Chain A
């Protein structure tokens, strides 16, 4: 007897220890959730009406006729009325409020709807774009009991265990019924309370044996003895399995609300809560997408129970029963729609966090990702690649593409495409595909020259004559222009605009390959390529992200900012853990970069990039460079306006030849994307140390506006020519002759 008692006490103590360890420690491995940027709204923001609607839909705002609460909007043509959601940011709380927004091609007006008080700035909460999951792919959004609608809690209790607040962990009638069936040799079954269900999910396997049932009962009693009803219910509500999204298991009502209805649990309507409770009975059996009729019947049964138990009045239940299931389309519910970007985020996080922490600590990661820009990039890529394959009779789906868009101000990646198929989670070409960059390297050569301002100006003549060189390794190097011709001497800026290979090779050799390499390093190149002359024509193989890093420094007027994707990381308790600060280092003078921007605008206006203006408004000044490698194996374009810089690569995975160039392949994707996101004109203000002069070319003499062969060119102060052409002198005299207008008037001119 004593022995039996000792064994019983020992078992009891062991079980108690097990109960406490799990319940008081970390109950779940919580995935890290990744968020997009929060959309900033202000008058003039480049957000179209369509873009705003897409953002609201992704946030799960509901289009309604009459706005009654947060998360709802009403649209009449370009006028939106919306009730925003409250969100706590590091620099303050954005309150929930009723807003009036007028959006056409951009935000035209912004006001508090109830008072018509104009607003200068506000932001919407960020969209959750994905997660980094534990090995078992359990996903949940932890909620405290008080964060759940009281109605949902009451509904759960009424349906799952209406005696929950009265029993001590076990339902006597249920247990007796189960015992009777089990002892009579029938199917093992259990009349589980909420506490027992929690014990089963938390501590026990799914095997159906009498011993396991007994352990479940004892542990349920211990749980009830140790913890309050509130703690048990809260754990249950976060633990319950409520669905599946691919590999990801949806647990808890908080996440289920977003999974099925794309909204926070606080905004659920009665019929939506009832559906979640219904699904709790069996997430696959009552899957509302696969078994809508079955799910509807179960939901309505739940509503009947709620009415019977007095949780809701009968009229409300009847009204709710008449509502459709109204779950979001299943693809909306799929997380990780942007795997290429998430991989980039993860790579960055892995420098600071252990993989196990990323998968289990419930981190909240706020990024710079812009779903609107990403959407436009995906659309443009899909459309253009299909068109290219049709027009050039290329086998369907053989072209591939990778691209990125970066916010110049901050060096933040806002969109990233690693495959032509959006959502593809395989090989990420933007990060991992190293391809020769062709002429996209040329700005580095011309920048090296322009930094040597005493010897090179934009007007300086560059030789495009044929060149033959024996390299150190004994190879004969004979570069050629795309048109197989040479073009004598031409001004430096024209040579870049026309992307002549011979000019770039001659200039690069004159400067020294080592110096060009040094420029590339200062632009942000981290590799150490061989200083071979072929480097001058882009034999260097880089990933699109690496090219973007080089062009970011160019676009930001010489300030190097490491490309980044993360802004802040919060822990599971919503406390800030780490900021990823903006950083910058001046690597080139703004004056020299201004000259390079001038030349790169020439590429867009008159050179290989001019096709961009089939999509862009001619008023939008932009700068960029095409790139095409031997046999057209790679098509590149890198370019920027005032706010965004983008790099696009098009090619084949087998590195096969294509009938397309940088201008016909990558550039249209860039241009179409930039047009769609409302690219701002290049910020081309004159920095200190730069003077503009009218210069006649090729004479390189000061001239005047209107004189033949004259160009308005920027010079580093003190480097402009001093001699003046006859036309320039005459214009100067005319300017100083204050009687000239009178004489012209006299002569009737």
Chain B
């Protein structure tokens, strides 16, 4: 067993020396204390972040509602667009597109402060630098200037 390990080390050493130029910076490291001292746990249950991604079923339902909301918005049916987008928002409250539609409808109904507030909420859920974030940001600024 030990012989096979030795053989493995020799082969690996040869390989490593051959490509030492590609390796990490040559830094002499001491054996970490943590390796010698097995970790202990606090005993407490760790509270950790959880993904907020919706399930596939919710995603499909929301996507259908958003599609319908855009259609109603295009047709200038503000009430319908609001109803449909609010349904989407109820199913997935972290979907920034729902907020964009709701805020746009309110903006078109001249409810500018409401539009700005809702767009700001959507913006807080949008991926930084995404198209949606940009649209929401523009809407916040536009509504705030009114």
Contact = CB atoms under 8 A, between A and B. Distances in A.
Contacts of A621: 47, 50
A744 B42 contact: no
Nearest to B86: A582
Interface string A582-609: 1111100010000000100110011000
B81 interface: yes
Nearest to A604: B47
Taking chain B's interface residues, is the majority helix, strand, or loop, or is none over half, making it mixed? helix
Given A45-B57, A91-B84, A685-B49, A708 B40 contact: yes
Contact of B29 (A40, A586, A731, A739): A739
Interface in B36-94: 37, 39-42, 44-52, 55-58, 60-61, 63-65, 68-69, 72, 77, 79-84, 86-87, 89-91, 93-94
A640 interface: no
A186 interface: no
B42 A586 contact: no
A726 B42 CA distance: 17
Interface string A718-739: 0000000011001101101111
Given A120-B64, A585-B117, A586-B117, A731 B50 contact: no
B21 to A, nearest CB: 16
Contact of B47 (A412, A556, A601, A708): A601
Contact of A408 (B24, B41, B93): B93
Contacts of A733: 29-30, 32
A740 B56 CA distance: 41
Contacts of A121: 60-61, 64-65
Contact of A598 (B12, B44, B47, B89): B47
A43 B62 CA distance: 11
B118 interface: yes
Contacts, number: 168
Nearest to A642: B52
Contacts of A705: 39
A40 B50 contact: no
A59 to B, nearest CB: 19
Interface string A551-591: 00000100100000001100000001001011111100010
A219 interface: no
Given A120-B61, A731-B32, A559 B121 contact: yes
Contacts of B58: 42, 44
B78 to A, nearest CB: 9
Contacts of B83: 89-91, 567-568, 579
Nearest to A559: B121
A409 B62 CA distance: 14
A329 interface: no
B131 interface: no
Contacts of A89: 83
Nearest to A684: B50
Nearest to B123: A586
Contacts of A681: 50
Interface residues of B, number: 61
Contact of B35 (A579, A683, A714, A740): A740
Contact of B55 (A44, A602, A726): A44
A712 B48 contact: yes
Given A730-B34, A746-B5, A708 B93 contact: no
A704 interface: yes
Contacts of B94: 683, 685
B45 A684 contact: no
B9 interface: yes
A710 interface: yes
A69 interface: no
B41 A581 contact: no
B118 A583 contact: yes
Contacts of B128: 688
Interface string B117-137: 110110010001000000000
A711 interface: yes
A365 to B, nearest CB: 15
A582 B121 CA distance: 12
30 contacts: A43-B61, A44-B56, A45-B57, A89-B83, A92-B68, A120-B61, A121-B64, A409-B90, A410-B86, A410-B89, A583-B114, A583-B117, A583-B118, A585-B117, A586-B124, A621-B47, A621-B50, A681-B50, A683-B52, A686-B49, A688-B128, A730-B34, A731-B34, A733-B32, A737-B32, A740-B29, A740-B35, A743-B31, A746-B9, A749-B35
Interface of A: 40, 42-45, 89-92, 107, 120-121, 407-410, 412, 556, 559, 567-568, 576, 579, 581-586, 590, 598, 601-602, 605-606, 621, 642, 681-688, 692, 704-712, 714, 726-727, 730-731, 733-734, 736-740, 742-744, 746, 749
Given A42-B91, A91-B81, A744-B35, 14 more contacts: A44-B56, A92-B68, A409-B89, A409-B91, A559-B121, A586-B121, A606-B44, A621-B50, A684-B52, A685-B50, A687-B124, A731-B34, A738-B24, A746-B9
